[in-house]
Chain A
Amino acid sequence: MSWLIWRQHRIELLFVLATVCLCSAFLAFEHISLVGTYSDLGLGKCTSAASPACSSNLQAFANQFGWLYVGIYWMLLLPAMFGIFIGAPLIAREVESGSYRFVWTQSVTRTRWFLSKVVALIVGAILMTAALSAVISWALWPLTRVEGILLLPTLNVLTTPLFDLTGAVALAATALALSLGILAGALTRQTVLAMVLTVIVFTAVRIPVASFLRPHFASPVVTTAAVSLNSDVPVVPNGAWLMKLGFIDGEGQTFDLIGVASARCQPYAADPTALQQCFREIGLRSFAEYQPADRYWLFQGYEAAIYAVLAATALLVAWSAVRWRLA
């Protein structure tokens, strides 16, 4: 079977591999300028945005390379490619062309044919994805670090796209895309329709999981700080996924803006000491809700598990369609 799998799918696999290589080359190229500018600006010594020198350099760096976020975002399509170009045609093309009548009447049973193909292709896809995600993590670490210090959400390890393209989630998402493609092909028996359905369903699964489930994998950490004239932001560790910033008063009411929060202290606006006293009296504090970066593997575990279970279910249904429904 392994000879057949390679011979039949080599073009599709090479096509996706070429795309992965292209992305890797692009990232490696950018990595060079990232590392160069990073050391030129001496950002290795900066651990917080507090000092003015660091602050402006960090900001400049983030501004210069922020566009990479867009490039990485497009790479979210790569797992879908496995589903579209390898998964969807797997069964659909055999049925459409009638070749299933040839290959399922050699001496290999349908189940063994299905199992061999699925295992080989998923392993291949996962290896390619693992390679790409390693390249992504390695290539972008300067930018990730800088954005972590600045608490920017764009290239945070816990948010899309970085979270989706690294670790176990990248692998599970690839497996899911491939499985959905195979299932779509098995059920519709039309390659083009299966390709379209794969994209739609894959997106329809991932967006809700990323947007609605992921924030709730663990209760966010809440810290507060006193509101003073110098600082009104609580201390949040670097790299954390900042989910909410605001103000809270003694009665537990939350506000987004300091102006609204401290409306009652308006009369004392002219006198800083009195203003401070007023804040203390109404119990005004600033708060932040965040997920610390060290929860990365916990969150990866949950989300990857969801995709893995869905992928396994899709494959089971696809296998049952191949064994029973296509007879």
Chain B
Amino acid sequence: MTAIAEADNLGKRYGARWGLKGCTLSLPAGRAIALVGPNGAGKTTLLQLMVGLLRPTEGAVRVCGHEPFKQPADVLPRVAFVAQDQPLYSNFTAEDLMTLGAHLNRRWDDRLVRDRLRQLRVPLDRPVGRLSGGQRAQVALGLSLAKQADIVILDEPLASLDPLARQEFLQTLMEAVTESGATLILSSHIVDELERVCDYLVILATARVQLTIAIDEALDTHKKLTGPPSDLLALSSIHDVVVASQTPRQMTAVVKGSGRMLDPSWETHAMSLQEIVLAYLTRSRQEEAEPAAELAVR
């Protein structure tokens, strides 16, 4: 699988605080990638580094083979980006913005955008500042799709949308991406809404990458074990324990790995994607509080 974007020990510091640190990953082309993590985890930082809006403090990032900050002319035409809360010129109409796009981009095809906006009855001659949140999101999305880019990057696209607007947004997005085969990167702090659309997962927490994995593989390889209170160290020597917790009555552990001989006194449960993400977030929070804790293994 070819990698459409790679990061190598990528880091970004804002003054004293690191927004992203030690980020190394390789994102496969043609996938729909979910970038999840709590607010402040570094999602926006990573995405903005990928489109050249931010300069790396350390390490490097390459998109379509070029470094976005150093060679913007090579990267920008191939990447479409919609930042958080879909920034646009509020006094421009959708028509104006499409003209802007046609002038400022080499590849531009807005026929599908116009069709979709007409279908959704979004007025093209009203300043976008006076459109509803859902309508503005459709305009911003449409402008990014008209660019015919190889990668479409959306930062928290669903955050301020009501359920209907969310549905319509994802419909527009999936229709376009299915046609073009572009790689998709969506960030959110809510996993549920991305699961239907994405097939690859990147978990970010506390400015670090916690996991990158195909969603199918994640669902197949992660299990929740419940059983009587046991020796946690012994458990972690047999299984790849993500996170574990213990009460006097019961022990619960989330493990990753292919089926191995399990103690019959334990029960194995399949996990939902949300539960898997939660396990890694819990682990990262534990690591942040006590870096040497035995519970947070690997």
Contact = CB atoms under 8 A, between A and B. Distances in A.
Interface string A85-112: 0000000000001111111111111100
Given A106-B105, A107-B76, A327 B88 contact: no
Contact of B79 (A105, A109, A327): A105
A249 B192 CA distance: 98
Given A3-B99, A8-B89, A105 B69 contact: no
Interface in B21-39: none
Contact of A101 (B53, B69, B90, B147): B53
Interface string B65-108: 00001001100110111010101111010001001110111100
A100 B89 CA distance: 10
Contacts of A269: none
Contacts of B96: 7
A327 B76 contact: no
Contacts of B224: none
A4 B98 CA distance: 11
A97 B76 CA distance: 21
A107 B83 contact: no
A110 B73 CA distance: 9
Given A106-B104, A109-B73, A98 B89 contact: no
Interface residues of A, number: 21
Contact of B76 (A7, A100, A101, A108): A108
B104 A103 contact: yes
B53 A104 contact: yes
B99 to A, nearest CB: 7
B87 A4 contact: no
A108 B104 contact: yes
Given A7-B92, A7-B96, A108-B76, A99 B104 contact: no
A1 B103 CA distance: 7
Contacts of A106: 76, 100-101, 104-105, 147
A300 B72 CA distance: 42
A324 interface: yes
Interface string A1-39: 101100110000000000000000000000000000000
Nearest to B56: A327
Nearest to B149: A107
Contacts of B79: 105
A107 B100 CA distance: 11
Contacts of B54: 327
A7 B92 CA distance: 9
A229 to B, nearest CB: 75
A7 B103 CA distance: 12
B182 interface: no
Nearest to A104: B53
Contacts of B101: 106
A327 B68 CA distance: 12
Nearest to B108: A107
Interface string A105-121: 11111100000000000
A157 to B, nearest CB: 44
Nearest to B72: A109
A294 B132 CA distance: 65
Contact of A105 (B51, B55, B88, B90): B51
A106 to B, nearest CB: 4
A98 B90 CA distance: 11
Nearest to B105: A107
A55 B284 CA distance: 92
Given A1-B104, A105-B53, 13 more contacts: A4-B104, A7-B96, A97-B90, A99-B88, A99-B89, A101-B53, A101-B87, A102-B87, A104-B52, A104-B53, A109-B73, A110-B72, A327-B52
9 contacts: A7-B99, A97-B90, A98-B83, A102-B87, A107-B77, A107-B104, A109-B72, A327-B53, A327-B54
Interface of A: 1, 3-4, 7-8, 97-110, 324, 327
